[in-house]
Amino acid sequence: MKILVCISKTPDTTSKIAFKDGNTKFEDAGVQWIINPYDEWYSLVRAIELKEKDASTIIHLVTVGGADCDPVIRKALALGGDEAIRVNTDSSDSFYIAAQIAEIAKQGNYDLVFTGKETIDYNGSSVGAMVAELIDAPYISLATKFELNGTTAIVNREIEGGEEVNEVALPVVVSCQKGVAEQRIPNMRGIMAARTKPLKVVEPTVVDTLTNIVSFELPPAKAGVKLVPADNVAELVRLLHEEAKAI
Amino acid sequence: MSVLIFIDQSEGHIKKSSLEVITYGVAVAKQLNVSAEGIVLGTVANDALIQLGKYGVQKIYHIANEKLNHVDAQLYAKQIADTATANNSSVIIISQNQTGKAIAGRVAAKLKAGLVAGAIALPDTTNGFVVKKSVFSGKAFANVNITSAIKVISLNPNSFHIKQTEGTAEIVTVNANVAEPKVKVTAVNKVSGEVPLTEAEIVVSGGRGLKGPENWGMLEELAKTLHAATACSRPVADAHWRPHHEHVGQTGIQVAPNLYIAIGISGAIQHLAGVNRSKVIVVINKDPEAPFFKAADYGIVGDAFEVVPKLTEEIKKLKTA
Ligand SMILES: Cc1cc2nc3c(=O)[nH]c(=O)nc-3n(C[C@H](O)[C@H](O)[C@H](O)COP(=O)(O)OP(=O)(O)OC[C@H]3O[C@@H](n4cnc5c(N)ncnc54)[C@H](O)[C@@H]3O)c2cc1C
Ligand SMILES: Nc1ncnc2c1ncn2[C@@H]1O[C@H](COP(=O)(O)O)[C@@H](O)[C@H]1O
């Protein structure tokens, strides 16, 4: 069993969001970079669990990004995984990123490609679907549970207002979210081992970028909360009805 | 040239998010001076489709193959992309709901089309084709230029108002070849009778301040009165006080209802990331320093156990008045 886990780096969830260069770039000064939580807590940990069950499993990590991704990849290697591949290029275009991952996926002949549900910075929830299309594999989105039975994957996935259970023969691309696994903390042994695990840097394949970010903006500031005394709930209902027209 | 709108259905019922994308797609078509066309996959009654003309869509391609009654990313993407190619569609609009997250990327990759996922406004076509989308989990917006000839936009649910006009849609029944699905659906578990969280106009949400699962009755009562969906903070779901699918926030579900009522939730940044696109936020918390008040439009500093039953009572009064 060969698993490819897609790892992206994102600003820590508590980072202050600000922009620079005339609002064209994310202000990364002082920002702590982390592994995108969905990639770390759910897809990577699930891949490690599968390896714990079947030691012949090989886990490769792939990230598309510049050298500033290396610390984050090392952390992912410390959690588990056998080697990492970094495609040395930087882009915000999901098609461009997916095409790079698809290239690695094709070369490595993986049985399983895991992505996170979404990146918490670009929130596209689309790279996994694109990779699946580019390698012509089925795609199961928003998985909440993932099991293997031989070469069949049994996956619960979120649908509107509920869940469904899917069965599909490998290879398959799956995007993971809460439920698939539980968060883990890397231990000292893992951190030491990660130092000697291979981190291959490869150059990107030539693909067109189909989108580019022109500018960023922050949402308009809230006007401030209108407080209503606890003994006058009727006033809140009046405001919600007459002023906010929300009920 | 045309704008092709993917109209999502479930068991023959057209979703509210589909009416949003139709309204949006019709507006984009008007902007580009091309026709607004829809595509429906799976079994839906013809009458229900003709009705969609009321939202301005002129023509609907209906592929009524039973294999499409279930969302299969591979089969859906193929039908949508083929229909787009056959009808020379330059812009494809999809809702960024669960179905959209399964298929939008596939459709885009198939057509080699640039994708803006999670759009919240109409494109600006004065200088390129720039679409505003939500980024950093609702903490900011990015204006994204799509440079490819074919463009795919997936629209965040609840970010565009449904508008009714006049008209009936011409229904074109298409007999397409549909392959055998590779993914087998072995079970479907829908929470029946409840309002789906991502479609809800109003969300009533509870946090650790409610002390335990046994106290959710008053929230459910309030939700029922408002025809609202219920949600919760992450620790509440982690402690199994509430089901996981109710967990909203950075690592849970992102919602954008007209009204979000937060009860006994402190308003941590990761929680706000899932709810900050709500139009109106009401916070009920006994701690005046709770960070949630900074993100709120209305608030009551008080004990939820006293305030919530009163709130339900007052809303009942309003509804019967
Ligand atoms: C990487 C990361 C991701 C996370 N993702 C999420 C996420 O997706 N969603 C999420 O919700 N959290 C998330 N969290 C957790 C988040 O940081 C907070 O810990 C969590 O939101 C707190 O939940 P809470 O507000 O219910 O509980 P608390 O913080 O314990 O707040 C309880 C509140 O209830 C109030 N209260 C107590 N009694 C009463 C009463 N009788 N009446 C009225 N008010 C009362 C208190 O004043 C307090 O403000 C994440 C954390 C991390 C680190
Ligand atoms: N630059 C990247 N490198 C590796 N994987 C990525 C990258 N960007 C996105 N992904 C993967 O695709 C998932 C969905 O990303 P997105 O479509 O941007 O929301 C993420 O959770 C990652 O698993």
pLDDT at B192: 67
Alpha-carbon gap, residue A43 to A59, rounded angstroms: 11
DSSP one-letter code for B248: B
Sign of the C-alpha dihedral computed for residues A100, A106, A110 and A115 taken in this order: positive
**Helix residue ranges, H only, chain B:** 16-32, 46-51, 73-86, 98-111, 217-226, 234-238, 269-275, 304-320
User: Among all ligands shown, which has an atom nearest to the Cα of B136?
Assistant: 2
Superfamily of domain A2-219: HUPs (3.40.50.620)
User: Among all ligands shown, which has an atom nearest to the Cα of A97?
Assistant: 2
Per the DSSP assignment, residues forming a β-bridge with B298 are A226, B282
Alpha-carbon gap, residue B211 to A30, rounded angstroms: 37
Superfamily of domain B2-173: HUPs (3.40.50.620)
Q: Find the residue in B nearest to A163 (Cα).
A: B189
Q: Quick one: which of B133, B277, B6, B233 has its CA closest to A125?
A: B133
Per the DSSP assignment, residues forming a β-bridge with B36 are B3
Beta pairing class for B130-135 and B59-63:
unpaired
- Each of the 321 residues of chain B gets a pLDDT tens digit; together they read 999 999 999 999 999 999 999 999 999 999 999 999 999 999 999 999 999 999 999 999 999 999 999 999 999 999 999 999 999 999 999 999 999 999 999 999 999 999 999 999 999 999 999 999 999 988 999 999 999 999 999 999 988 999 998 889 999 999 999 999 999 999 999 876 677 888 889 999 999 999 999 999 999 999 999 999 999 999 999 999 999 889 999 888 889 999 999 999 999 999 999 999 899 999 999 999 999 999 999 999 999 999 999 999 999 999 998
Instruction: Give chain A positions within 8 Å (CB) of B136.
Output: 11, 17, 120-121, 123
Q: CATH topology for B197-320?
A: Rossmann fold (3.40.50)
Measured distance between the N- and C-terminal CA atoms of chain A, rounded to whole angstroms:
54
Q: Where in chain B is the domain with CATH 3.40.50.620?
A: 2-173
Cβ A177 under 6 angstroms from ligand 2? no
Its pTM stands at 0.93
Q: Does the predicted interface ipTM exceed a cut of 0.95?
A: no
What residue ranges do the domains of chain A occupy? 2-219
Alpha-carbon gap, residue B123 to B135, rounded angstroms: 16
B101 neighbors B157 (Cβ within 8 angstroms)? no
Query: What stretch of H or E contains A147?
Result: strand A139-149
Instruction: Give chain A positions within 8 Å (CB) of B114.
Output: 93, 95, 210-211
Which residue lies with its CA nearest to atom 8 of ligand 2? A8
One-letter amino acid at A160 equals E
A13 neighbors B271 (Cβ within 8 angstroms)? no
**For ligand 2, what atom is nearest to the CA of residue A127?**
17
Instruction: Give chain B positions within 8 Å (CB) of A240.
Output: 259, 280, 282, 298
Give the pair of three-digit tokens for residue B235: 């620790």
Chain A interface test: which of B11, B300, B318, B319 (most A C-beta within 10 Å): B300
Cβ-defined contact of B106 to A160 (cutoff 8 Å): no
Beta pairing class for A25-26 and A19-20:
antiparallel
Alpha-carbon gap, residue B176 to B68, rounded angstroms: 11
Report the separation in Å between the CA atom of B272 and the middle of ligand 1, taken as the mean of its atom positions. 10
Report the separation in Å between the CA atom of A212 and the middle of ligand 2, taken as the mean of its atom positions. 16
Report the separation in Å between the CA atom of A78 and the middle of ligand 1, taken as the mean of its atom positions. 30
Apex B29 CA angle, B24 and B32, nearest 5: 130
Cβ B266 under 6 angstroms from ligand 1? yes
**For ligand 1, what atom is nearest to the CA of residue B274?**
8
Q: Where in chain B is the domain with CATH 3.40.50.1220?
A: 197-320
Q: H helices then E strands: how many in chain A? A: 7, 15
Give the pair of three-digit tokens for residue B83: 């229909």
Query: What stretch of H or E contains A130?
Result: helix A127-134
Cβ-defined contact of A17 to B118 (cutoff 8 Å): no
Q: Is A100 helix (H, G, I), strand (E, B) or coil?
A: helix
Nearest CB neighbour to A237, from listed B273, B294, B311: B311
Q: Quick one: which of B137, B121, B73 has its CA closest to B99?
A: B73
- Chain B (139-198) residues lying within 8 Å, Cβ to Cβ, of chain A: 139-148, 154, 182-191, 194, 196-198
